[in-house]
A and B are shown apart, each in its own frame.
Chain A
Amino acid sequence: MGLFFFMDVSGQLARDFLWPECMGLKSRGEKSLITMNENAPSGSANRGQRTAAQVGAPQGLGSHSPKQGEIMTGAQAVIASLEAEGVDYVFGYPGGQALKIYDALYDSKQITHILARHEQGAVHEADGYARATGRPGVVIVTSGPGATNTVTGIATAYMDSVPLIVVTGQVPRAVIGTDSFQESDIVGITMPVVKHSYLLQSVDELTTVFREAFHIATTGRPGPVLIDIPSDLASEKLVFDYPDEVSLPSYKPTYKGNMKQIRQAVARIEEAHQPVLYVGGGIIISDATDELTALAELMEIPVVTTLMGKGAFPASHPLNLGPVGMHGSKYANLAMTESDLIIACGARFSDRVTGKLSQFAPHADVIHIDIDPAEIGKIREAQIPIVGDLKGVLAGIVSALVKRNSQPNDAPWIERVNVWRKRYPFYHSDIKEKPDEIVPELVLETLSDKLDPQKSIVVTEVGQHQMWATQFIERERPRSFLSSGGLGTMGFGFPAAIGAAIGRPDCTVVCIAGDGSFQMNTQEMATAAINGVPVKVLIMDNRCLDMVHQWQKLFYKGRYSETLLDPIPDFVKLTAAYDWEGERIENPADLDAALDRMLNSDVPYLLDVAISRDQNVYPMVAPGSGLNEVMGAIDVAVGAVRTDMPDSFAASPAPSPCAQIDAQFGGRWESDPFDTGARIGQRNADGSLVTDEEGVLKKQAHRSKQTAQPDSESKEGGRS
């Protein structure tokens, strides 16, 4: 029963998802909606099962485009192709070799062009649009510098598997290779960072190339596709004939998971006593949140998320352990380390997640589900590899588990995890902070509380603020948290927020930025102002390149080489220059009202929040350390202080008799660190349950209360 219910919901959601609430956009014709529904899988039996042809089908009218059969120029065909694909927004910047395409664009009633102020901004905007809507982002730029300026944006999208179509103008075919004015070999330059690229050779292949490009960009593991168009082709005539299908015998992404592997996975999940679902961006791309939730709930499996996976599983769900890895919670990292089964769903065991590989989850078997076979076994050996679309594979696993009437058998595990969760929170009100300084953790916690999780999108730049946002901004639905995960591109967040706001005008879009990152693409303030995009920028302003600064503090003896930023610019004055609204706050008391003013503004708004340079992002797993070697996690058992602080940085917690407790040993005293026997709540080899006979946990709780009390009193006096 439960299963049927969930499947119906997922089918419904899949359609809603492809056609989000923002139906008011001008290309959303009734006709195209009908075409789409015809393509949707029918019959409840294969609801979760999709094919590449369905996923990659044109989202517009395709061959039914009214321009089908017209004689037109190559440039007009470029625009007509984009229209046939249902493109509503294009981001770009014109130039000599793109002139003809821009001339053709002038006549388009379907496509709105957003003029960026730098080509990099245009690509990030298209990227943000794609991440927020799930539809490919489209960029048009000119040759030479226009094209080379897109490289960082393309690489960012490639690392995070974002579907982009980048159309670049190129010098005429006759002069390619002669170092002519504004010539660059952009196909060659971008080769390592695109999923595929085309240098158009003749107008005969133009429509096929566009159809293939959209198909390749959106299917399998999505990615950017570049189309380089020599400008002489833009003026050649052709008969517009747009295909609906593609013929790519060498490109057949595997959507359907192997049944034998799925059966193996089901059997292994049934056996697991300490399983963890390790969730990455693949769940969001595959729109498999419902299937994931069904699996987690059915077998009571805790879920940890990567940076890209944030939002794939609701933050409010009791099984969500949140971010894992270098700045993940100690409880999520402990859960990974202690697990006996990792079910990796669309995640790639990035070094920012695993820490030192030899110490990563030493007892765990791995079920690795990914549509990209190259990710499986790349970093961590997978005992059960499954290549396929997560939506279908997870639905298959869930229905098999339901059929076999499998029951979760990890209650003690869940209990242990929950003890860790209570014991090592991300933040605690008892932490000593300077009363006159704004605490970054609290800024983001407050912001998170003020945002409607269904109607908001948070975009981040890269740095400390990005990690705080990951820790404190609670997300309930996919595509509501956008961040540059793989490439870590400073300057990505702000333009991406503009793109997201354009793609989802029904959502409040907040960009959380650092003062360094924001200055990398400040010029896009003009794009937001001129297009009336009410994006909000919250700058966590510490006048330094905070993440590098933190590493210099912790690992380079405080030698702050080139990470201190001068107290310019005055961001508030900058808002005036670009016709934005904005203010700066320095006093903790002003925070609440300032956030309200920002969120209630209906114009682009910048809130500059002064925070201290001395703030560090904790917990932290130092580079090269194991995931279990967490520095600076708060331990409420010893009085809500940060524990295991690095030696070079002594923010010394009050010494406590309980400080020796080793969190990994289920709350026992660290009398014998080599004791690897069963722990409290676990079963011995003979099947007997280990109970807390000596009342260790109780004693410990009592003691921590005693030590906590004087601490919290002194702090309360100090806090505003």
Chain B
Amino acid sequence: MRHILSVLVDNKPGVLSRVTGLISRRGFNIESLSVGPTEDVTLSHLTAVVNADDVAYEQITKQLHKLISVYKITDLTDVDAIERELVLYKVNAVPERRNEIIEIANIFRAKIVDVGRTSLTIEATGDESKLKGLEDLFRAYGIKEIVRTGKIALSRNSKD
């Protein structure tokens, strides 16, 4: 089962490698990862997506909790959470088909960020299903390159 882990960690060198090292050491593959500082500059927020059954997942979180650099772990899998990811698509676009692609991008509220002689670069944010849908449509034109930031997530019903 897929789990979205939201981890609050020390914003110090080496912390990312402690966290990811521990997850891989316990035999799990990190599907997606994003890290960045939070409102408190001494802390970073790390969002990781891992595939694990419930027992293994519990073991990962307990082991992560043991790291001195880890403050808090939230499982955003089952809670109502906002998930976002940013993706850049470089799509084949001969001049006569540009408009079709721009139209698709507009429907998905994606932005055209670069226009080349035979390609368009589109920036899109959203949850997994939206980005997947967009990708499927672009495949028809031929996707040259995709880069994605990795998923970030925040619980919706926060107490404050």
B70 with A250: CB separation less than 8 A:
yes
B62 with A373: CB separation less than 8 A:
yes
A378 with B68: CB separation less than 8 A:
no
Given the complex of chains A and B, what is the CA–CA distance between A250 and B68 in angstroms?
Answer: 6
B69 with A377: CB separation less than 8 A:
no
**CB-CB contacts below 8 Å: A186-222 with B:** 187-188, 191-192, 195-196, 199, 216
Which of B17, B55, B62 has most chain A Cβ within 10 Å? B62
Which of B14, B21, B71 has most chain A Cβ within 10 Å? B14
B65 contacts the other chain (Cβ, under 8 Å)? Answer: yes
Min distance, Cβ A545 to any Cβ of chain B, angstroms: 29
B14 with A196: CB separation less than 8 A:
no
A88 contacts the other chain (Cβ, under 8 Å)? Answer: no
- Residues 367-382 of A, flagged 1 when their CB comes within 8 A of B and 0 if not, give 0000011100110000
B159 contacts the other chain (Cβ, under 8 Å)? Answer: no
| B residues near A24, Cβ cutoff 8 Å | none
B117 contacts the other chain (Cβ, under 8 Å)? Answer: no
| B residues near A192, Cβ cutoff 8 Å | 21-22, 25
Given the complex of chains A and B, what is the CA–CA distance between A373 and B14 in angstroms?
Answer: 24
A191 with B10: CB separation less than 8 A:
no
| B residues near A674, Cβ cutoff 8 Å | none
A251 contacts the other chain (Cβ, under 8 Å)? Answer: yes
Interface size on B, residues (CB 8 A): 20
Q: Which of A188, A248, A378 is the one whose CB lies under 8 Å from B17? A: A188
Q: Which of B13, B55, B66, B69 is the one whose CB lies under 8 Å from A374? A: B66
| A residues near B63, Cβ cutoff 8 Å | 374
A249 contacts the other chain (Cβ, under 8 Å)? Answer: yes
| B residues near A196, Cβ cutoff 8 Å | 67-68
B58 contacts the other chain (Cβ, under 8 Å)? Answer: yes
**CB-CB contacts below 8 Å: B63-113 with A:** 63, 65-71
Q: Which residue of A lies closest to B64 (CB)?
A: A374
| A residues near B17, Cβ cutoff 8 Å | 188, 191
| B residues near A251, Cβ cutoff 8 Å | 68
**CB-CB contacts below 8 Å: B1-56 with A:** 10, 13-14, 17-18, 21-22, 25, 55
**CB-CB contacts below 8 Å: A331-377 with B:** 372-374, 377
Given the complex of chains A and B, what is the CA–CA distance between A251 and B22 in angstroms?
Answer: 17
Min distance, Cβ B29 to any Cβ of chain A, angstroms: 17
B118 contacts the other chain (Cβ, under 8 Å)? Answer: no
Q: Which residue of B lies closest to A249 (CB)?
A: B71
Given the complex of chains A and B, what is the CA–CA distance between A203 and B51 in angstroms?
Answer: 42
Given the complex of chains A and B, what is the CA–CA distance between A250 and B69 in angstroms?
Answer: 7
Supposing A192-B21, A374-B66 touch, asked if A250 and B59 sit within 8 A by C-beta, the answer is no
Given the complex of chains A and B, what is the CA–CA distance between A692 and B71 in angstroms?
Answer: 61
| A residues near B14, Cβ cutoff 8 Å | 187-188, 191, 199
Q: Which of A248, A373, A374 is the one whose CB lies under 8 Å from B68? A: A248
Chain A: number of interface residues, binned into ranges: 10 to 19
B21 with A191: CB separation less than 8 A:
yes
B21 with A373: CB separation less than 8 A:
no
Given the complex of chains A and B, what is the CA–CA distance between A195 and B18 in angstroms?
Answer: 11
Q: Which residue of B lies closest to A374 (CB)?
A: B62
Given the complex of chains A and B, what is the CA–CA distance between A596 and B78 in angstroms?
Answer: 68
Min distance, Cβ B22 to any Cβ of chain A, angstroms: 8
Q: Which residue of A lies closest to B72 (CB)?
A: A250
Q: Which residue of A lies closest to B55 (CB)?
A: A377
Q: Which residue of B lies closest to A191 (CB)?
A: B21
| A residues near B70, Cβ cutoff 8 Å | 250
A199 with B10: CB separation less than 8 A:
no
Q: Which residue of B lies closest to A250 (CB)?
A: B71
Min distance, Cβ A195 to any Cβ of chain B, angstroms: 8
Q: Which residue of B lies closest to A196 (CB)?
A: B68
Given the complex of chains A and B, what is the CA–CA distance between A186 and B68 in angstroms?
Answer: 18
Q: Which residue of A lies closest to B63 (CB)?
A: A374
Given the complex of chains A and B, what is the CA–CA distance between A196 and B63 in angstroms?
Answer: 13
Q: Which residue of A lies closest to B25 (CB)?
A: A192
| B residues near A378, Cβ cutoff 8 Å | 59, 62
Q: Which residue of A lies closest to B62 (CB)?
A: A374
Given the complex of chains A and B, what is the CA–CA distance between A377 and B62 in angstroms?
Answer: 10
Min distance, Cβ B67 to any Cβ of chain A, angstroms: 8
Min distance, Cβ B47 to any Cβ of chain A, angstroms: 18
B18 with A191: CB separation less than 8 A:
yes
Q: Which of A191, A216, A248, A373 is the one whose CB lies under 8 Å from B65? A: A373
**CB-CB contacts below 8 Å: A214-244 with B:** 216
Supposing A192-B25, A199-B14, A250-B10 touch, asked if A372 and B66 sit within 8 A by C-beta, the answer is yes
Given the complex of chains A and B, what is the CA–CA distance between A196 and B70 in angstroms?
Answer: 11
Which of A373, A374, A378 has most chain B Cβ within 10 Å? A374
Min distance, Cβ B28 to any Cβ of chain A, angstroms: 14
| B residues near A248, Cβ cutoff 8 Å | 68
Min distance, Cβ A346 to any Cβ of chain B, angstroms: 16
Given the complex of chains A and B, what is the CA–CA distance between A378 and B59 in angstroms?
Answer: 7
Given the complex of chains A and B, what is the CA–CA distance between A372 and B65 in angstroms?
Answer: 10
A216 with B68: CB separation less than 8 A:
yes
Min distance, Cβ A319 to any Cβ of chain B, angstroms: 32
Q: Which residue of B lies closest to A216 (CB)?
A: B68
Given the complex of chains A and B, what is the CA–CA distance between A192 and B70 in angstroms?
Answer: 15
B68 with A377: CB separation less than 8 A:
no
Min distance, Cβ B126 to any Cβ of chain A, angstroms: 33
B59 with A374: CB separation less than 8 A:
yes
28 contacts between A and B (CB under 8 A): A187-B14, A188-B14, A191-B14, A191-B17, A191-B21, A192-B21, A192-B25, A195-B68, A199-B13, A199-B14, A216-B68, A249-B71, A250-B10, A250-B68, A250-B69, A250-B70, A250-B71, A372-B66, A373-B62, A373-B65, A374-B62, A374-B63, A374-B65, A374-B66, A377-B55, A377-B58, A378-B59, A378-B62
Give chain A's interface residues, CB within 8 Å of chain B.
Answer: 187-188, 191-192, 195-196, 199, 216, 248-251, 372-374, 377-378
Given contacts A191-B21, A196-B67, A250-B71, 13 further A-B contacts (CB under 8 A): A188-B17, A191-B14, A191-B17, A195-B68, A199-B14, A216-B68, A249-B71, A250-B69, A250-B70, A372-B66, A374-B59, A374-B63, A374-B65
Q: Which 7 A-B pairs have the closest CB atoms?
A: A374-B62, A250-B71, A196-B68, A251-B68, A374-B63, A373-B62, A191-B21
